[in-house]
């Protein structure tokens, strides 16, 4: 088997608590032909100091940025500098298991060039209680754009699990006016390339209060922009237009439900339901969606009472989004 160079891009920003473990999970990989690009996005804690302590490893390239810019910009910068045949992305609060790169490279080298990405599930580690749980992903392989869109809420693609053919990132760069590329990038790749599912957890994502995924307002804006831009992309397969419309509707209504259940912003929830109905009206016939839509038109005191009752019955309290 050949031993191609793999570029691992680690994004760091004010996560000194987790950074050393993240770096060590890379340098200790069983697969050693690595280029390690660490992009620090203007950290103001001890992150830069921690990174410098690992610079004796000649494989490390330190992109020491003084200012903070969108992650999408930093992604494109690192992609352009990379030399590997494949790229793997990691964030400073997450880490790889020992054989992550080795197992994926072995599979990639046996596939034809129609395949652009190997993905799989992972684990989630709660910082609060140190409990590690299995995190599923979309069970998709091959040309699967439609399935990716339809199975969005079954786990989608774990953001740090994939090993990606470098060509994908070069052909389909991140939109630099959006904070984050993430899910939209994987959908772009699926327009042209096959995906391969390695159904084995090889990564661990830490769950804590500052996870970007909890910034619901920002995420829904990014999600909307990514999918509506896909509709206009010259490579977009037009047969998946309805899949995108359904996805946008589901996404907006699911976020609306979160805002209702967390007693957060009932006016915003009502706006999201309205937008979701506009994208795919039939979605409102689902019981949970219909209940949420009715609730957001009820008096706030009644909504809070119903939420309190649901919290007791389910034993689950829904926390508010961390961004306003």
Please, which pLDDT band fits residue 232 given cuts at 50, 70 and 90? very high
Low-confidence winner among 32-46, 75-89, 304-318 (lowest mean pLDDT): 304-318
Q: Which pLDDT belongs to residue 208?
A: 80
Q: Tokens 């327009």: give the residue.
A: 191
CA 270 to chain centre: 26
Our CA angle for 47, 92, 127, nearest 5°, is: 105
> Cα separation of 173 and 97, whole Å?
27
Would you give the DSSP letter of residue 142? B
The mean pLDDT of 301-313, rounded to a whole number, is 92
Q: Beta partners for 207?
A: 126
> Cα separation of 178 and 73, whole Å?
9
> Cα separation of 267 and 270, whole Å?
5
> Cα separation of 47 and 43, whole Å?
6
Please, which pLDDT band fits residue 223 given cuts at 50, 70 and 90? very high
Is 119:198 a contact under the CB 8 Å cutoff? Answer: yes
Query: What are the pLDDT digits (tens) for 85-140?
Result: 999 999 999 999 999 999 999 999 999 999 999 999 999 999 889 999 999 999 99
What does the CA dihedral 137, 140, 142, 148 come to, rounded to 10 degrees? -90
* Token pair listed for 116: 């652009």
Query: What are the pLDDT digits (tens) for 173-219?
Result: 999 999 887 788 999 999 999 999 999 999 999 998 765 555 788 88
Is 43:66 a contact under the CB 8 Å cutoff? Answer: no
The full length of the chain comes to 324
């Amino acid at each position: 088997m050949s031993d191609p160079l793999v570029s691992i891009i680690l994004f760091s920003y004010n996560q000194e608590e987790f950074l050393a473990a993240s770096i060590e999970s890379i340098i200790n990989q069983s697969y050693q032909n690595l280029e390690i690009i660490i992009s620090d996005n203007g950290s103001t804690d001890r992150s830069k100091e921690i990174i410098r302590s690992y610079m004796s490893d000649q494989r490390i390239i330190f992109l020491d940025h003084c200012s903070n810019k969108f992650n999408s910009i930093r992604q494109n910068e690192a992609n352009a500098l990379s030399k590997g045949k494949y790229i793997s992305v990691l964030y400073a609060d997450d880490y790889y298991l020992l054989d992550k790169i080795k197992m994926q490279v072995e599979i990639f080298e046996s596939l034809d060039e129609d395949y652009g990405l190997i993905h799989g599930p992972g684990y989630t580690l709660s910082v609060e209680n140190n409990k590690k749980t299995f995190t599923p992903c979309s069970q998709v392989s091959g040309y699967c754009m439609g399935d990716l869109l339809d199975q969005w809420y079954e786990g989608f693609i774990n953001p740090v699990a994939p090993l990606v053919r470098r060509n994908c990132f070069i052909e389909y760069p991140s939109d630099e006016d959006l904070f984050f590329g993430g899910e939209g990038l994987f959908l772009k790749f699926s327009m042209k390339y096959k995906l391969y599912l390695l159904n084995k957890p090889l990564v661990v994502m830490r769950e804590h209060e500052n996870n970007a995924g909890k910034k619901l307002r920002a995420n829904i804006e990014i999600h909307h922009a990514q999918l509506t831009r896909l509709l206009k992309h010259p490579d977009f397969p037009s047969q998946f237009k309805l899949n995108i419309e359904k996805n946008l509707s589901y996404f907006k209504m699911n976020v609306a439900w979160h805002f209702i259940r967390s007693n957060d912003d009932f006016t915003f929830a009502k706006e999201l339901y309205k937008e979701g109905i506009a994208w795919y009206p039939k979605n409102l016939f689902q019981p949970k969606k219909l209940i949420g839509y009715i609730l957001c038109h009820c008096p706030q005191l009644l909504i809070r009472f119903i939420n309190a009752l649901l919290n007791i019955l389910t034993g689950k309290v829904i926390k508010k989004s961390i961004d306003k």
